[in-house]
Each structure stands twice: as C-alpha cells, then as structure tokens.
Chains A and B, each alone.
Chain A
C-alpha cells in the first residue's frame, strides 16, 4: 500500500532505534513494588486493600472512582507494606500502594498459557465491562481509560477503528517488538475492539522504519475480517492521534474536538494486546513492555515489566547506567518526562526509560528570534510557535487563545528545530495552563 503521512509540518529526528532487534525479555520481579493510584488520566483509584493484607498478582487493589478512572491490580504476590506517598514520574509524591513481594502467585482465573484464543465469546457490553475491570488504559502514553473511549457519547457513531503502531518517538521499540512477537494476539485484540465499537473496519498504522512489522501484520490480516495495514512515512509526530487519523483516512479532527467527531477511535497496539489478554485470558493490566535504551547504554533492550518496578531494576538489566548519563527520561526524547530519581516506579504509561548523555541533551543558550519561520513550518498543528511564545511573554492571553494555543499537543517539534534554541514549548505550556484556566473560569 502507498505510504501516507499527515498534512502539516513534522520533523525527522535521528531514529536511534537501538533495541529494535532485541526480543522482549522478562524483567526480574523486584523485592518491592510501588503501585501509584494515579497511573491513568482522571480520578485516582481508591484502595480496597489495607496494610498487612496478602495479595496475589492480578488481584484488584484499588478500584475505579468515577467514569474517567481505572482499576489498579497488584503486579506481584505478597503483602501490602504501606499505602503512602511515593515519588512518581510527575516529580511529585503521590499516593501509591507499596507491596513486598513473596513468591509469584497469580490469581487462579488468569489463563497463563501461551496458546492463542481466537474465538470471541463476549458481547460488546461484556467486552467493555471486562476491559474496564482489567484496568486497561491507553498504553501509548496518554493513559486515557480505554473503556471510556469504547463508549462514544450519544449521537456519535464510530465508523473506523485506527490502531496506532507508529511509535514515532526516537529510541522506543516496545510497540515494534510487540507487533513482531504478539502479532496474532494484537489482531485478535483489534477484532475485540471492533466488536465493542460495532465497526467493520480497522486500520493499523505503522511507520515505514518497521518494515518487518508491516510485513508480519500484512501476512496475517487475511485471517481477520476488516483489518488493513497502512504503512506511514517516517515523520514525527506521526503517532499523534490527530496526525494519525489525518494520515490514515484524510480527515482532520476540528480544533478542541475528539476523534469521534470525524468517526474515528484510536487505540495503541499495546492497548490492543492488553485488551486481548484481558478479554481472552482474563488477565488484568499489571505488566507492560518497556524499552530501556540510550546511546551509551551497554545493552539496550525491551523488558516485559511488572507495574511498580523501580526503574533502577530495569537500568540494572540493561547493564547499568552509563557514567555519562545526566538525564533519565521516562518515555521518548521528544515528549518524555525527565525523572527525578531512579526509584520511580514503572506505571501503565511507561513506554521507555532513556538515559541521555550531556552532549545530546544539553540546552544551548537562547538567542534572538531570527524569524526564520522554521517553527511555523514544522508545527504539525499549523500553529505559529514564535507568536505564541511572544504572546505568552507579553501575557496576551486572549491573543494566544485566538492563535489556538490550546491546539498545541506539546510534541516539541518547534523547540527541537529552533536554530536560536528558544524554549518555545516551555512558554507555550505556561500559556496553555493560563489560557486553560481562563477558559474554564469563563464557562463556570
């Protein structure tokens, strides 16, 4: 199939997919896990266990506390040590359940065999219920509860399901490996999602630097109804939700609206795999694949990791932190978060751990804007980052709102590109929080 891409801007940073050839390995189960209650977008889940309780892997330990919220399950078997504030990827201390590992006992209902279960016996509403119970959230990084996305608002009809296998962030290879090693499981997962959404069509978008995954998927889709594979140009941020929809079906989601507005729902390949495991194997989401990587990392790899594992365990498995490391990023280099400690636990949204040396990540001194318009040219939302930055500096909130500052998805293409090393995105973030606050106070 012809290679497609999105309509506006985009950049091509060095891909550095160092661990693309490394099969997924299983990370060691740590002595102690810290399972944050806020691993998803929305309200924190509420603990249903107490200090001293014995738990099994896959057991519900905190339940959803609203429509936009998610269940949380124990990733290990052992004893609840405490429910306390723990430093997480946000840099803040937030509520988490700390469990001391004893053995590795799983809930008996979980089917731990590796055989593929293709037949889907559940009805759409049962599927959504099962997904919600399993605590599945978007594993691409946004961690939006999956069951919410499967329940379109009244009056809106999903016409097509788009599966995000783009993995456009440099370095990350977790989704790539999953597509190679769990291809059939993903396709069954996609079929389940199609059934839940009551759609007949799905497109799996995969960036063209993963030709092996494209071929693998293409060779298997004949056995599944309504699924197509769409190769996409290697261009960041191809995996942005709006960009992916634009690239795959040529529809642009209007400003401030959700994909359902153009009849699309997007899920990540990792999510499709988690859906397969939840629906066909009765396994809640308590582990995920995490890429541990960096140019000076001894052994970059992909690890199937229990949620709550401190990242130090993963870094150890990759051969330890190289001495030139100055920054540890949770996620990819473009949108990931700089982590404040090596004891931060892996959460449902952790796609990678990236160790960066100073020469790659040091910020240079900011210079005058030379109005080269490169930030305008690369913005995938068609915004004018230079204008937004100066608007924020001058506190012209209405102007920046009119310039659609809230459309910014924080992909970082502008800051990445700026020859004057201006921190465009830093200012835009500041403006977004201010303008967002003003907009909310207006509707009240």
Chain B
C-alpha cells in the first residue's frame, strides 16, 4: 500500500461488459442453431461456419490493415453478425455468396461507420438484404427440412409457407384452401418447414428470448411489441376478410418474425434508447412488416421493416426522451 489510487466515484463496477452481453446473445442463439442443424444438417453447418468465419476474418482484416486500430474480434459482435447472417440465409446457398454477404455485412454494414456502436443499420440485415436483391434466385430457393439433412447445394427445395400463401392468394385461392397445403401451426412452431436456416423453429427462438430476459441482456419491450403489432394488424385484416388475409398466428410463426423481433430488432446499437422510443420503433417494425407482406411484392418483410426503422432510430432518440424524475 505504498501508493493510493485516487479517482472519482463510483469506486466499484458491476462487472458487466460488452463481451458478457455479446456472448449472452450467442448462448441465446444456440437453441436456434441446434434446430437449424437438426433440420437442415450439412448445409446449415457449412453456411453457418462460413458466415461466422468470414465475418471474423473481414473484421480482422479491416481493423488490422485498413483502419490500423486494435482488433476487437473477441468482443463477440462479429461472431453474432455471422451467426445471424447465416440464420437469415437458405442453407443451400453457395459458399461464395455467403462470403459476399459477410463482406457486405461487416465491411459496409459495420466498419464503414466506425465499428461496433456506430453502425446505423443492423449489419447482418444489411448483408442479408444485399444478397436478397443481388441474388434473388439463390436467396429464395429454400431447402426442405429433414429430407435434405445430408445434402448441401443439391438439397431438395420447396417454397416457404409465406410464398405459398402469397402465390396462392395471387391465384385467387381463399386462405383456408392454401392453409390446407401448409404445415400445421404446431409444425411451424417446432420448425418443420422450409425457410432460412435459423428462422424456422419458433420454440428455439422463444427459449433464447427467455434466456436473454433472464440475463437482463434485453428488455421485453421490442420483441413483445413487434409481435403484438403484427398480431393486431393481421388480426384486424383477418377479421375483415378471412379469405383474403391469413391469421395472426400464421404471420407470427413464418418468415422470420420471431428471429427478427427477438434477435435483430433488439440489436443495441440500432434500436432506440428510451422505453417509449423502443415501443414506437417496435410498432413501426410490425406495421411495415405487415404492409410489405400483404400489399408489397416480397412475401416476407421483417428484414426491410427493421432496416427502415433502424433509419428512424436517431430521430426517435432525438424526440422521444425517457421520462425524467420530477
């Protein structure tokens, strides 16, 4: 005790860290990863490994050689971007497209703006939407679950429930008839359906949500309000015309709503700071998702909805301040 440390209070810290939160999210994503591996097997494994590895690699290369700053690979954020990107891709996507997606996600989505904390848009979604627009065919051929466990590029493919619905409605069929061709709600909840690798199993995503709530990594506001808004909006449409509009439960269990609401919309960096702001942001995501699905040309819409609301986040932060004491 030769020298005393002098610094202003507080003199203790909670021990919380960026790493703890990021690794917490990764743990919360493990059930969904397990589901994606069990339904899509080999393909999911290849896509996930390539996505994570290339996200880490691009982050390292950019920080080391372009920005010449300290590398932050171990904070876990690049790995999450990789994992979420993989979850948003079909498991039969060729490796080179996955790598392009990772380059866009990390390079343009994240590092261009100064790295973690400064990116206005969710990096994984930037990558995903870039691929969706650039490679529309590869990005919308979905392998069938279980049957294609041992195959990758050559996996048997089929349509997702949302595109079946969209095409069916366009062909003039009533909802009830289309629903008969689709997996049951229970199957949807447990993931027995075509779709992106990580979006299919509702139960796995909900488990991750509960874990993050328990660890206090996120609050309930954004996921619950996104889902509630979609349910309310599609519920009203469904009541008005049940032949033309699918049920709320169908909309919630398909097209990555749960993945988006729980893991993408809650991204710290790109979501608002105040509780009221979070609720406004989440309502926006829900409304835009339904508008795109029901009236737009894409069968699913949550990726675009989240990106659009990401753009509004600074504005929401500017005008919606938390309630102050007194």
Contacts and interface: CB of A to CB of B under 8 A. Distances in A.
Interface string B257-291: 00000000000110111100000000000000000
A394 interface: no
Contacts of B117: 367-371, 420
A381 B321 CA distance: 13
Given A339-B4, A373-B273, A426-B8, A7 B20 contact: no
A384 B325 CA distance: 12
Interface string A334-377: 11111111000000000000101000110110011111111011
B12 A416 contact: yes
B172 interface: no
B322 A376 contact: yes
B325 A242 contact: yes
A356 B325 CA distance: 33
Nearest to A430: B8
A383 interface: yes
B16 interface: yes
B137 interface: no
B1 interface: yes
Interface string A412-426: 110111111100011
A374 B16 contact: yes
B325 A368 contact: no
Contact of A425 (B1, B10, B269): B10
Nearest to A243: B325
A425 B321 contact: no
Given A371-B268, A373-B274, A376-B273, A337 B9 contact: yes
A83 interface: no
Nearest to B272: A373
A319 interface: no
Interface in A372-400: 372-374, 376-377, 379-384, 386-387
Interface in B218-252: 219
Contacts of A368: 114-118
B11 A329 contact: yes
Contact of B14 (A13, A257, A329): A13
A417 B321 contact: no
Given A372-B21, A376-B273, A421-B13, A327 B4 contact: yes
B273 A371 contact: yes
A321 interface: yes
B269 A370 contact: yes
Given A242-B326, A376-B273, A363 B13 contact: yes
A429 B10 CA distance: 12
B268 A356 contact: no
Contact of A381 (B16, B269, B324): B324
A326 B13 contact: no
Contacts of A412: 9-10
B115 A415 contact: no
B18 interface: yes
A253 interface: yes
Interface of B: 1, 3-14, 16-18, 20-21, 72, 75, 114-118, 219, 268-269, 271-274, 321-326
29 contacts: A91-B6, A242-B325, A252-B326, A321-B1, A327-B7, A333-B11, A334-B10, A336-B9, A338-B9, A356-B12, A360-B12, A367-B72, A368-B114, A369-B117, A370-B18, A370-B269, A371-B271, A373-B272, A373-B273, A374-B16, A376-B273, A381-B326, A412-B10, A416-B12, A417-B14, A417-B16, A418-B16, A419-B20, A420-B17
Interface of A: 7-8, 11, 13, 91, 170, 242, 246, 252-255, 257, 321, 323, 325-329, 333-341, 354, 356, 360-361, 363-364, 367-374, 376-377, 379-384, 386-387, 403-404, 407, 410, 412-413, 415-421, 425-426, 429
